[in-house]
Chains A and B, each alone.
Chain A
Amino acid sequence: MGFFTDTSVCIGCKACEVACKEWNLVPEDGLDFTAMSFDNSGGLGADTWRHVAFIEQRAPIGVQETGVGRPEGAPDPVDLGMPSFEPPGASADGDATGEFRWLMSSDVCKHCTHAACLDVCPTGSLFRTEYGTVVVQEDICNGCGYCVPACPYGVIGQREDDGRVFKCTLCYDRLGAGMEPACAKACPTDSIQFGDLDELRERADERLRGLHEAGVGSAQLYGRDPGDGVGGDGAFFLLLDEPEVYGLPPDPVVTTRDLPSMWRHAAVAAGALLAGITATFLGRRR
């Protein structure tokens, strides 16, 4: 089971953030706006399991279109005075006027097929559930913090006053009761869709085709490919720009892919140390 988050219909309402906090009893971690956008949760961490990113762009496809074409002979879009880095009218070269688009995207733990956090956990507190998701068993976690730098997406975090790590569980408890996760339940536009991954991938492909046919060339799926560096994400996305613009790594690779090679190099180094120390005792006594 997993999520397909279609960011092209996200309206940035943060219902998912609120529903997640409410259901999972995630503590409050500050409501400070980042002073860059309407984003007031900053990024994923121990106390933010759903994070809505807001990206403001002056891009030439800024008509937030609801499928209704603009009538013939209608006036060009006007500058709405959207937030910008220069005073209003400064960039009035005609091209940039009124051309503004607002990308919103609800980010979440990706529940990777090859999950680095699960691989590096030395206590076995991170485990793979019967739904194929990745969950922290909180009564086992000893707060070593190894999973935090291991995650290529910057999802899992350590709660300071508690010491343990926390992340999205894909509402493990709700799934057990036959309900869908709280964020998907709360999403008013069906931007967050929950279901069987195969079905969601079909859905996503169809949606992508539709958007490309409508001329939205920048639309792309992220984390859908089971052949990528993490074996495909359990929570994948439809984005309208490059992943890094949303704060996502463009080509994440699970760190343990290189681990066999790391062990080999370390074994050679350990052997070299033993041989080198032995060599220091050879020769005449000085």
Chain B
Amino acid sequence: MNTSDVTKEGIRGARPGREAVTGADSALGGQRRERPADDGGGRGSEFGTYYDRPVLNRITWRPRDIAGYLFLGGLAGASSALAAGADLTGRPGLARPLRYTALAAVTGSLAALVNDLGRPDRFLHMLRVMKWTSPMSVGTWILVCYGPLAGAAAASQATGVLPGAGRLAGLGAGAVGPAVSAYTAPLICNTAVPAWHEGYREMPFVFVGSGAAAAGGMGMITAPVGQAGPARRAGAAGAAVENAALAVMERRMGMVAEPYRTGRSGTLMRAAKALTIGGAVGALAGRRSRAVSAIAGAALIAGSACTRFGVFAAGQASVADPRYTVVPQRRRLRDREQAAQQEE
């Protein structure tokens, strides 16, 4: 402990060194001059930085694993929902491949998630607790519910064993699937990363739209055109929702949205837009042609993947530049000070 005590009369027994006064104006003969506006040391008019070093620490997640996980999770969840509908409305040619897709995608997403852990052998530590404050914890439990259902549905489909139970599992997976697609938005938005956190209102809609576009695209590739109507509609509507939500998100974010337009993340987002819109047009225009449907479906899937990788890269870019951290916070402080002054 420190040797000094805080008493009613002030601090007792402090070392004299602590009383040192830095740059007291007594030393300058009382002549306090104005500060220079800019000394070149990273002190701009809007904000200062510490040698332009990032405020936040670099995101340690590997893009292939985590952006891939976001993409596969969205694909799996929406595929299960689409497969359940296809099953209920007597479209076996659409339900079968989508059930397989859901199992493959959820397996891949789990593999990516575990692979990204610093200690993969400790994955099960996730199951020690259930925390609402941690979307990763909630998501782990969602996947624990969803994975076996999707697996049972696909296994029963492939082997013909217990068809009733398989259908039931498929319906269950269809009901839980949307949660798998949507929860990944809070997963990334519940961070200090400016380009993610500031978009937390729209990100869930970007992600479910993107998931629906990917699942619809998969249905268009794998199902005969006579049965793929819902997949075409889901793909086109998903692409529309995704792009609309992104537009709203970028407008609301202001300067923090820059990474979505510039650099590698900007390139990915532009590619995603071109692919999803092209795929949506192809889905609606080419509904009589298997070949056009397959090409449009592939474009929708690729667009969905580009969206996830683009959002991930934008987050990384917004961490790397201290501007995106400091400027919005500085403005917030200034607004609060002005509001306080007006109240006086």
Give the chain A neighbours of B196 by CB distance below 8 A. 149
Give the chain A neighbours of B55 by CB distance below 8 A. 153-154, 244, 247-249
CA distance A202 to B85 in the complex (A): 65
CA distance A240 to B35 in the complex (A): 14
Specify which of B23, B82, B192, B322 is in contact with A244 (CB 8 Å cutoff).
B322
CA distance A275 to B131 in the complex (A): 28
B-contacting 9-mer, from A14-22, A23-31, A53-61: A53-61
CA distance A76 to B129 in the complex (A): 65
Residue among A34, A60, A252 facing the most chain B CB atoms (10 A cut-off): A60
Interface membership of chain A positions 49-89, coded 1 if the CB is closer than 8 angstroms to chain B and 0 otherwise: 00001011111111111110110000000000000010000
Nearest Cβ in chain A — how far from B213, in angstroms? 11
Give the chain B neighbours of A57 by CB distance below 8 A. 39, 41, 43
Nearest Cβ in chain A — how far from B333, in angstroms? 5
Give the chain A neighbours of B122 by CB distance below 8 A. 123, 140-143
Q: Is the CB–CB distance between A202 and B20 below 8 Å?
A: no
Nearest Cβ in chain A — how far from B133, in angstroms? 4
Please judge, given known A-B contacts A140-B125, A280-B234, whether A65 and B200 are in contact too, CB under 8 Å.
no
Nearest Cβ in chain A — how far from B191, in angstroms? 4
Q: Is the CB–CB distance between B129 and A124 below 8 Å?
A: yes
Specify which of A123, A214, A270 is in contact with B126 (CB 8 Å cutoff).
A123
Interface size on A, residues (CB 8 A): 115
CA distance A279 to B135 in the complex (A): 29
Q: Is the CB–CB distance between A55 and B6 below 8 Å?
A: no
Please judge, given known A-B contacts A142-B126, A163-B119, A286-B229, whether A269 and B208 are in contact too, CB under 8 Å.
yes
Q: Is the CB–CB distance between B15 and A277 below 8 Å?
A: no
Nearest Cβ in chain A — how far from B206, in angstroms? 9
Give the chain B neighbours of A259 by CB distance below 8 A. 132-133, 135, 186, 190
CA distance A247 to B326 in the complex (A): 9
A237 in the interface (beta carbon within 8 A): no
CA distance A228 to B211 in the complex (A): 38
B89 in the interface (beta carbon within 8 A): yes
A128 in the interface (beta carbon within 8 A): no
Interface membership of chain B positions 201-245, coded 1 if the CB is closer than 8 angstroms to chain A and 0 otherwise: 101110110011000000000000000011101100110010000
B287 in the interface (beta carbon within 8 A): yes
Q: Is the CB–CB distance between B53 and A157 below 8 Å?
A: no
Give the chain A neighbours of B10 by CB distance below 8 A. 206
Residue among B190, B197, B315 facing the most chain A CB atoms (10 A cut-off): B190
Specify which of A155, A158, A162, A195 is in contact with B2 (CB 8 Å cutoff).
A195
A-contacting 9-mer, from B25-33, B157-165, B254-262, B266-274: B25-33
CA distance A85 to B140 in the complex (A): 52
Nearest Cβ in chain B — how far from A180, in angstroms? 6
Chain A residue nearest to B189 (CB atoms) is A262
Q: Is the CB–CB distance between B28 and A211 below 8 Å?
A: no
Q: Is the CB–CB distance between B1 and A195 below 8 Å?
A: yes
CA distance A244 to B28 in the complex (A): 27
Nearest Cβ in chain A — how far from B2, in angstroms? 5
Nearest Cβ in chain A — how far from B173, in angstroms? 12
Chain B interface size, under 10 / 10 to 19 / 20 to 34 / 35 or more: 35 or more
CA distance A194 to B201 in the complex (A): 41
Q: Is the CB–CB distance between A262 and B190 below 8 Å?
A: yes
Q: Is the CB–CB distance between A149 and B319 below 8 Å?
A: yes
CA distance A271 to B135 in the complex (A): 18
A146 in the interface (beta carbon within 8 A): yes
CA distance A65 to B57 in the complex (A): 35
Q: Is the CB–CB distance between B185 and A53 below 8 Å?
A: no
CA distance A42 to B233 in the complex (A): 52
Q: Is the CB–CB distance between A142 and B27 below 8 Å?
A: no
B151 in the interface (beta carbon within 8 A): no
Q: Is the CB–CB distance between A274 and B23 below 8 Å?
A: no
A40 in the interface (beta carbon within 8 A): no
Chain A residue nearest to B51 (CB atoms) is A36
B168 in the interface (beta carbon within 8 A): no
A246 in the interface (beta carbon within 8 A): yes
Q: Is the CB–CB distance between B190 and A190 below 8 Å?
A: no
Give the chain A neighbours of B78 by CB distance below 8 A. 273, 277
The 5 closest A-B CB pairs, nearest first, are A143-B118, A163-B118, A247-B50, A215-B25, A269-B204
Known pairs A145-B116, A203-B6, A203-B11; list 20 more (Cβ under 8 Å). A55-B41, A55-B50, A63-B27, A96-B36, A140-B122, A141-B118, A142-B125, A142-B126, A148-B58, A149-B59, A149-B61, A149-B191, A190-B2, A216-B22, A244-B47, A247-B50, A256-B133, A272-B205, A274-B178, A278-B85
**Interface on A for B, CB 8 Å cutoff?**
6, 8-9, 34, 36-37, 42-45, 53, 55-67, 69-70, 85, 95-96, 101, 116, 119-125, 140-146, 148-159, 162-165, 180, 184, 189-190, 193-195, 199, 202-203, 206-207, 210-211, 214-216, 240-242, 244-252, 255-256, 258-259, 261-263, 265-274, 276-281, 285-286
